[in-house]
C-alpha cells in the first residue's frame, strides 16, 4: 500500500472534508499530496467554487423562469447563452 494517497482517494477526502472533520493521518497525507499535485489542488479549488456557488444558488433561488431582463433569464433556462464573438 502506498503511503501517499492516490489522486482518486484525495478527491474522496476533499469531498468528505466538506461534510465532516478528517482524521489526523488523513489530514497530513492530504496536505502532503496537495503540496505536490497541481491537479488535486485544482480539484480542491473546483469543489470550493462548487460549494460556494451551490449555497448561493439555493439561498437566493435562481430565477431561471424569471422575467426576462434583456433576454438573459430566458436564455438561462436551457442551453447556455450564445456567444456571438
* Chain residues that interact with another protein, rule: CB under 8 A: 11-12, 15-16, 18-20, 38-40, 42-43, 45-47, 49-51, 53-67, 72, 76, 78, 80-81, 83, 85
Is the Cβ of residue 4 or residue 12 nearer to another protein in the bound state?
12
Is the Cβ of residue 13 or residue 29 nearer to another protein in the bound state?
13
Cα–Cα dist 12/46, whole Å: 13
Asked if 43 contacts 11 with a C-beta cutoff of 8 angstroms, the reply is yes
What are the grid coordinates assigned to 51, written together?
Answer: 460549494
Q: Please state at what angle helix 38-60 crosses helix 7-17, rounded to 10 degrees.
A: 30
Give min distance, CB of 66 to another protein, in A: 7
CA distances from 30 to 24, 49, 68 (A): 10, 19, 45
Give min distance, CB of 84 to another protein, in A: 11
Give min distance, CB of 17 to another protein, in A: 11
Amino acid at each position: 500500500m502506498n503511503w501517499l494517497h492516490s489522486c482518486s482517494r484525495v478527491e474522496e477526502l476533499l469531498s468528505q472534508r466538506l461534510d465532516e472533520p478528517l482524521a489526523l493521518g488523513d489530514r497530513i497525507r492530504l496536505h502532503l499530496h496537495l503540496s505536490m499535485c497541481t491537479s488535486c489542488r485544482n480539484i480542491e479549488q473546483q469543489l470550493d467554487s462548487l460549494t460556494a456557488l451551490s449555497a448561493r444558488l439555493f439561498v437566493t433561488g435562481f430565477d431561471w423562469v424569471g422575467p426576462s431582463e434583456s433576454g438573459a433569464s430566458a436564455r438561462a433556462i436551457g442551453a447556455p447563452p450564445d456567444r456571438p464573438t
